[in-house]
Amino acid sequence: MNARQDPDTQADDSALLSVRGLTVHHGQLRAVADLDLDIAPGETVAVIGANGAGKSTLLGALAGILRPSAGTIRFAGRDVTGLPAHRRVAEGICLVPEGRRLFPSLTVEENLLTGAYRRRPGPWSVEAVMDLFPWMRERRGQSAARLSGGEQQAVALGRALVGNPRLLLLDEVSLGLAPAVVQRIYALLPALLNGHSPAQGISVLLVEQDVAQALKVADRVHCLLEGRVALSGRPAELTARQVERAYFGPTRPRDSAA
Amino acid sequence: MIWVDALVQGLLLGGLYALFACGLSLMFGVMRIVNLAHGDFAVLAAFLAYSLATATPLGTLGATLLLVPAFAAFGYLVQRGLIQRALTVGPLSTLLATFGLSIVIQNALLQGYSGDTRALNPGSLVSASLHLGGGIDVAYLALITFGLAVAVLAALQLFLKISRTGRMLRAASDDPGAAALVGADARHLYGIAAALAFGTVALAGLMFAMRSSFDPSIGPTRLLYAFEAVVIGGLGSLWGTLIGGMVLGLAQTFGAQYDPAFTLLSGHLVFLAVLAFRPQGLIPARSMS
């Protein structure tokens, strides 16, 4: 199912995030090709796909780390395509990067405080994050380098939340973590809506290798293949066969002999 | 008693070395660059203070109060304008760029002031000293320099530890990319680090000029001592820089007691010994990633 829209379609300004015709190159390689995407306020959107499908590149362009070669990114009605990465937090876009990337010479509390550097007004604060993860209170003075993978992921998530984003970008949260830890982290996502109505809640765009987990938490899912959206829809409406086809492409992997 | 005197003089001399070194330590700690023109900027500050003190009614104190913040602002501009561009090209480029700066400054000073030595007049402080028992005299100038060094290091340490900007400086030195993701403009933060480095080195240059004569060519030697103090104390630790400065000062004054010709050599020998037996320095604060 080809989800590409007509190239003349205007960006949807009722959406919080509206991506049109996004093309991002890694040198000669076109990692994201002419991609369209919308995210409504308070919506959780998952982007799945095989390695090299363009998922992390898409997040990189949304976070401002990578410059698109073509296309537009509109956020809350503003064109942010060329906005440098360090100005996006003030706009309301916070990325939890792949591999956590906490600051190793800072403590747990200091890492959370860095998220408040350019924070927007809102309900999230270092104290609120510590209410969400009570263990952080006891270990607030501990060096971030000494945390386990799951704990680092929690701190990285808290660091992004403290900025009070309108759009939270999650890059491969499950990478390197035990399945039980991943489940616990994803179980937190509803808490991000924080009791507000969906229109006021935080939108989430998550990139995931763990397809089952992604389908469980997302309102809508996009499957990328070679930089384009190969499949879109609500998880309940998609069959496993459809997802598999979109994930791997027209050539199905051979069934191994029993 | 001469050894006690050497001890006291060496420790106080360490304060001056620490003042020279803390800017170097800061720039290396935050940006991983060595500013080869570090010592030359100190000499530039000394010459400018000389001009201001002799040609205007400002005097030495007024020149100091004017030049230290002026050099801090100048440092921010040099960082944003020159060093930042070199940084984006690669680590060796900053060495080349700052080396070029060093040559430019030395020759500009030579052109402007000639090669004659000058000295800054610290007024009544020039010969006043505290008379301790046992024939030990401690120059007020040396005490003030040491006090300034401790105050500057304490202020820097506090700034890095507690303030919002200091915290982001530490974060940006860990991972500038991740710092950008929380909204920190690494270029601006690097500019602040450079401003602090240039301000402190200007102060160091002025304190040096008040106790010793100077000429356009002594910059690289100042850089060398600063570098040695940083390495002896341990990269990444500001208080280590003070310890390193004091060890270097002690090595020089004790060496001088043995034979005045050995003054500088003793310092270099101690530096070599530290490199050979404890290369991470006396107080290693962070592991080299």
Q: Which pLDDT score, from 0 to 100, does residue B108 have?
A: 97
Burial of B115 (0-12, 13-18, 19+ CB in 10 A): exposed
Q: How confident is the model at residue B288 (pLDDT cuts 50, 70, 90)?
A: very low
Q: Which residues contact residue B49 at a Cβ distance below 8 angstroms, ignoring those fewer than 6 apart?
A: B60, B63, B64, B67, B120, B206, B209
> Which residues in chain B have their CB less than 8 angstroms from residue A59's CB?
none
Q: Which pLDDT score, from 0 to 100, does residue A247 have?
A: 85
For residues B10 and B252, the answer to whether their CB atoms sit within 8 Å is yes
Q: Which pLDDT score, from 0 to 100, does residue A200 have?
A: 64
Q: Does A65 touch chain B (CB under 8 A)?
A: yes
A67, A87, A91, A103: best mutation site toward chain B, by most B Cβ within 10 Å? A103
Q: Which pLDDT score, from 0 to 100, does residue B13 have?
A: 94
Give the angle A230-A233-A234 at the CA atoms, nearest 5°. Answer: 150
> Which residues in chain A have their CB less than 8 angstroms from residue B169's CB?
none
Partner residues linked to A73 by β-bridges: A19
Contact map slice: A 201-240 vs B, CB within 8 A: none
Domains of chain B: 2-277 (1.10.3470)
Which two structure tokens, joined as six digits, stand for B149? 């060094």
Residues B48 and B205: their CA atoms lie apart, in Å, by 11
Contact map slice: A 89-148 vs B, CB within 8 A: 89-90, 94-95, 97, 101-106, 110, 113-115, 117-118
pTM (2 decimals)?
0.88
Whether A106 sits inside 8 A of B167 (CB atoms) is yes
Q: Using DSSP, state whether B232 is helix, strand or coil.
A: helix
Q: How far is B117 from chain A (nearest CA, A)?
A: 45
Contact map slice: B 171-210 vs A, CB within 8 A: 171, 173-175, 177-186
Long-range contacts of B49-55 (CB under 8 A, 24+ apart): B49/B120, B49/B206, B49/B209, B50/B113, B50/B118, B50/B119, B50/B120, B50/B209, B53/B120, B53/B121
Q: How confident is the model at residue A258 (pLDDT cuts 50, 70, 90)?
A: very low
Partner residues linked to A76 by β-bridges: none
Residues B88 and B82: their CA atoms lie apart, in Å, by 10
Residues above pLDDT 90, as percent of chain A: 57
Phi, psi of A241 (to 5 degrees): -65, -45
Q: Which residues contact residue B39 at a Cβ distance below 8 angstroms, ignoring those fewer than 6 apart?
A: B20, B102, B201, B218, B219, B220, B221, B222, B223, B224, B226
> Which residues in chain A have their CB less than 8 angstroms from residue B183's CB?
86-90, 117-118, 163
Residue B123 has pLDDT above 80, yes or no: no
**For residue A22, how many other CB atoms are within 10 A of its CB?**
24
A117, A126, A162: best mutation site toward chain B, by most B Cβ within 10 Å? A117
Q: How many beta-carbon pairs under 8 angstroms link A with B?
A: 71
Q: Which pLDDT score, from 0 to 100, does residue A138 have?
A: 94
Higher pLDDT, A52 or B179: B179
Strand B129-131 relative to strand B137-139, pairing:
antiparallel
Q: Does B164 touch chain A (CB under 8 A)?
A: yes
Q: What is the per-residue DSSP string for A31-80? A: EEEEEEEEE-TT-EEEEEESTTSSHHHHHHHHHTSS--SEEEEEETTEE-
Residues B119 and B140: their CA atoms lie apart, in Å, by 17
Q: Which pLDDT score, from 0 to 100, does residue A13 have?
A: 65
Strands laid side by side in the A228-233 sheet: A93-96, A167-171, A203-208, A44-49, A220-225, A228-233
Q: Does A86 touch chain B (CB under 8 A)?
A: yes
Residue B66 has pLDDT above 90, yes or no: yes
> Which residues in chain B have their CB less than 8 angstroms from residue A118's CB?
182-184
> Which residues in chain A have their CB less than 8 angstroms from residue B173's CB?
105
For residues A116 and A163, the answer to whether their CB atoms sit within 8 Å is yes
> Which residues in chain B have their CB less than 8 angstroms from residue A80's CB?
none
Considering only CB atoms, B175 lies closest to which of A88, A103, A110, namely A103
Residue B286 has pLDDT above 60, yes or no: no
Residue B134 has pLDDT above 80, yes or no: no
Q: How many residues does chain A have?
A: 258
Q: How far is A115 from chain B (nearest CA, A)?
A: 5
How much is the average pLDDT of B237-256?
A: 93
ipTM: 0.86
Average predicted confidence (pLDDT) for chain A: 86
Give pLDDT tens digits for A30-75.
899 999 999 998 889 999 998 888 898 999 999 999 999 999 999 9
Q: Which pLDDT score, from 0 to 100, does residue B71 have?
A: 97
Residue A199 has pLDDT above 80, yes or no: no
Q: How confident is the model at residue A257 (pLDDT cuts 50, 70, 90)?
A: very low
Q: How far is A257 from chain B (nearest CA, A)?
A: 46
Element (H, E) at A224: strand A220-225
Give pLDDT tens digits for A241-255.
888 888 888 765 555
How much is the average pLDDT of A127-149?
A: 92
Residue B126 has pLDDT above 80, yes or no: no
Residue with tokens 């995030």: A17
Average predicted confidence (pLDDT) for chain B: 91
How far CA A37 is from CA of A47, A74, A220, B129, in Å, comes to 10, 10, 11, 76
Phi, psi of A151 (to 5 degrees): -65, -40
Q: How far is B15 from chain A (nearest CA, A)?
A: 27
Give pLDDT tens digits for B139-176.
888 999 999 999 999 999 999 999 999 999 999 999 99
Residue B69 has pLDDT above 60, yes or no: yes
